Amino acid sequence: MSVDEGVCAVRPGVDLGRHARMLARVHDALLSGDRLPARPRDLVERSWTRVRRYGVSPDLGDPPDPMTADQVERRRQASPLSRVLPLLRASLTSVAEDARHIMVITDAQGVVLWREGASKVRRRADGLGFTEGATWLEGTVGTNAIGTAIAEAAPVQLFSAEHFVRRQHPWTCTACPVHDPRTGELLGIVDITGLAETIHPTTVALVCTAVKLAESSLWHQHEGRLEALRTVGAPLLAGVPGPALVVDDHGWVAAVTGMAPVERVSVPRPDQPLAVHGVGLCQPEAVPGGWLLRPAGPAGGAATSGRLRLRLELDSRPVRAVVEGTNRWLHPLSTRPAEVLLLLAMAGAAGLNAAELSVALYGDREHLVTVRAELSRLRRTLGGLLLARPYRIAPSVEVQLPELVGCRFVMSSTAPGVRALAVGRR
């Protein structure tokens, strides 16, 4: 089954009026506690459960006041999606105008940053509070394509009374998350919204294709910046004895010398040693467009043995990873990253793929995007100590773990694969 077939709110040829009336009966029956005349779609049912838990009223009036124009502009300037806005406009805005829709782009927090398209639809959306600076999360305005796409980490199309708040029943919306192709992190949502009678199944494919093009463009821009950094890095590395790297601000490697190629290291920070697999702790030195990394020895340039030790301190508050080489580096960990590192440490050289980690962390294979984003954040912190395909701790890194049987951190974990360690089994 294709993505659009699994996401579409209506099938081709369906009687939209009859379908909308049936959904309204389902919605009313749910709220009154009566027997449902039909089951809502699974994603709609999950969303309704969440928004009822949040305490959202189906008779919600105006949403909270939107952010100011200055606040919106600052978010626009900080958003990586500003770099692909022309592409999204070319792909969607003219289509939205012709189809009596508006194109909406939000940030990862569901704040509307850009809104373009049919002027009449924009004016009607104003009355709904669907304006620049408004926050369209499920906990704020109920089930809607933007907030539900964020919650589900997947494309979403909603029609009429699938929206939880009654004021939104005359509308249809189709949304798709945009992720950073370098890290897997959510950058925002691209949405097409219009009146309910304008819904069409092909809108799902249209929005998802535009998002894929935007993510591809972001990756090409990243490659272009790395290539520019190589022109700076090559002359620098030519004069450096021993192993060294030139990396960008996100830890992606542009050039190396005196060592095997690596794809990515930790995010460099000024005056903070950084662990690099096969080299040891390096001292970041700012260069145009990035950083020069070379071993941090007693004199600032002496080579190290490259042997690193990673120790997980699960009983500390906060939990932390300790990296030791020529220096000692402490990194506090929240619960989920600590669980990931513990599972990878127990997996050894065989490592774990995203699906295996999803099962170990969540009990199912439905959280692949979340797992990959989590690993990307960890690799941005620990760099070459973590390898990919499969995910594993680098073989030259010595790992030290505390006693796990009876460990408070392990016993309090909600991750099935971690809880199993409390009784001495994987």
Work out the average pLDDT over 364-372: 85
Bridge partners, residue 324, by sequence: 309, 328
Q: What is the pLDDT of residue 1?
A: 36
Torsion of the alpha carbons at 399, 402, 403 and 407, rounded to the nearest 10: -130
Q: What is the pLDDT of residue 305?
A: 46
Angstrom distances, CA of residue 175 to CA of 7, 13, 328: 10, 22, 46
Work out the average pLDDT over 372-378: 85
What secondary structure does DSSP assign to 190-217, as a single string? EEEEEEGGG--THHHHHHHHHHHHHHHH
> What is the rounded distance in angstroms from the CA atom of residue 336 to the CA atom of residue 177?
22
Task: Give the closest residue to 113 by CA, choosing from 131, 97, 126.
Answer: 131
Work out the average pLDDT over 291-307: 60
Q: Which residue has tokens 């005349």? A: 37
Written as six digits, the tokens of 89 are 């406009």
Q: What is the pLDDT of residue 52?
A: 95
Task: List, in order, residues 6 or more apart from 230 with CB less than 8 Å away.
Answer: 246, 254, 255
Q: Coil, strand or helix: which one is 418?
A: helix
Bridge partners, residue 189, by sequence: 106, 177
Reported as a single tens digit per residue, the pLDDT across 129-170 is 999 999 999 999 999 999 999 999 899 999 999 999 999 999
Percent residues over pLDDT 70 in the chain: 94
Written as six digits, the tokens of 278 are 């096969």
Task: List, in order, residues 6 or more apart from 7 with CB less than 8 Å away.
Answer: 154, 155, 156, 157, 174, 204
Work out the average pLDDT over 271-283: 79
What secondary structure does DSSP assign to 146-194, as a single string? HHHHHHHTS-EEEEGGGSSSGGGTTEEEEEEEEE-TTT--EEEEEEEEE
What secondary structure does DSSP assign to 7-25, as a single string? H-SS-TT--HHHHHHHHHH
Task: Give the closest residue to 100 by CA, choosing from 122, 81, 82, 132.
Answer: 122
Task: Give the closest residue to 251 by CA, choosing from 284, 278, 218.
Answer: 284
Q: What is the pLDDT of residue 374?
A: 87
Reported as a single tens digit per residue, the pLDDT across 19-78 is 999 999 999 999 999 999 999 999 999 999 999 999 999 999 877 789 999 999 999 999
Work out the average pLDDT over 260-284: 82
Q: What is the pLDDT of residue 55?
A: 94
pLDDT range class, residue 384, cuts 50, 70, 90 = low
Q: What is the pTM of this model?
A: 0.73
Bridge partners, residue 294, by sequence: 283
Highest mean pLDDT, choosing among 136-150, 219-233, 318-332:
136-150
All domains of the chain in start order, with CATH? 3-220 (3.30.450.40), 239-295 (no CATH), 308-423 (1.10.10.10)
Q: What is the pLDDT of residue 151?
A: 93
